[in-house]
Amino acid sequence: QKEVEQDPGPLSVPEGAIVSLNCTYSNSAFQYFMWYRQYSRKGPELLMYTYSSGNKEDGRFTAQVDKSSKYISLFIRDSQPSDSATYLCAMSGPGNTPLVFGKGTRLSVIA
Amino acid sequence: EAGVAQSPRYKIIEKRQSVAFWCNPISGHATLYWYQQILGQGPKLLIQFQNNGVVDDSQLPKDRFSAERLKGVDSTLKIQPAKLEDSAVYLCASNYANTGELFFGEGSRLTVL
């Protein structure tokens, strides 16, 4: 079993739709949970950062972490064509332990 | 604030040749990482430096890959000899010690023919 599992998609939705992206993980030591967005031929950029369980909202984006189920989600409301990118979940344990990434989900938002 | 700089952006080589990638992290960032991202996959850690010391190189194929971070600033990743399966994007990232947020460069795309 991989440490972090993420459905690679691709996922195609119409503009304005609500998008749900998910990851599961197996390492119970993970405490920091992140979502990165990666446009084609660019490096990943941090979108959302959550510590431990709970929800975090930033504009159209909401990140949820359920440590009891080892499951994290990213919701995008009112999706826009500019949201078309690959979304990578990433997580790490305590201290300066390195991030472990999922495979990424490729999202296309169609105008 | 300047971001993480990487060069070259693209490199095409024949198998068994050598290649080197350079990274300049964000000023003041003590921790530097090299990740390998194969097409359709998430980034995989190759090596992590804290200042100029190696913290984690457990996934670095040491028979062909080497990396150094002289003076705790710039870093170089070398592959010698290259194999076809080394075709990937090599991402450099940096952060302050003990924080989760990584800042990535745009990557160096390697094609091995």
Q: Do B43 and A98 touch (CB under 8 A)?
A: no
Nearest residue, CB atoms, A44 vs list B43, B97, B98: B43
- The whole-number pLDDT of residue B52 equals 84
Confidence class of residue A95 from pLDDT cuts 50, 70 and 90?
confident
Q: How many CB atoms lie under 10 A from the CB of residue A26?
A: 11
Query: What residues of A are in contact with residue B44 (Cβ under 8 Å)?
Result: 101
Q: Do B100 and A4 touch (CB under 8 A)?
A: no
Question: Which position has the higher pLDDT, A64 or A97?
Answer: A64
Q: How far is B17 from chain A (nearest CA, A)?
A: 24
Q: Would you say B23 and B31 are in contact if contact means Cβ atoms under 8 Å apart? A: no
Mean of pLDDT over chain A = 93
- The whole-number pLDDT of residue A33 equals 94
Query: Whole-angstrom Cα distance, residue A35 to residue A82?
Result: 17
Contacts of B58 (CB under 8 A, 6+ apart): none
Q: How far is A105 from chain B (nearest CA, A)?
A: 9
Question: Which position has the higher pLDDT, B101 or B24?
Answer: B24
Q: How many CB atoms lie under 10 A from the CB of residue A51?
A: 11
- The whole-number pLDDT of residue B39 equals 92
For the stretch B47-64, pLDDT in tens is 999 988 999 999 999 999
Query: Whole-angstrom Cα distance, residue B63 to residue B54?
Result: 17
